[in-house]
Amino acid sequence: MKRFSIPFQILVITLIVSACGAPQSTPTIDPVDLQSTVAAAAFTVLAETQAAIPTATPLPPTATPTNPPAFTGAQPAPAP
């Protein structure tokens, strides 16, 4: 009976050790996805650069003095 149990134990230990093998490798990146990501990043950098460039904005209007109100000739009513 010991004959069958030793090979069985070796088989079980072998299966346990092989189950804890090397970690899973990272999946490969699809070249089309990589190209799309690079293009999107490049356009984002380009858009941010264009947004940072100063533009020729017009000067704000300055306050111009206005004429004082015209005298109408009426006198204010006396205080009671």
Phi-psi region of 67 (alpha: psi -120 to 50; beta: other; left: phi over 0): beta
Q: Cα 17–20–26 angle (5° rounding)?
A: 145
Return the amino acid letter for 71.
F
First to last CA, the chain: 130
- pLDDT tens string 42-65: 999 999 988 888 888 888 888 888
pTM confidence score: 0.39
- pLDDT tens string 13-48: 888 888 777 677 788 889 999 999 999 999 999 999
* Amino acid 55: pLDDT: 81
| CA–CA separation, 33 and 40 (whole Å) | 11
Residue located via tokens 């205080």: 79
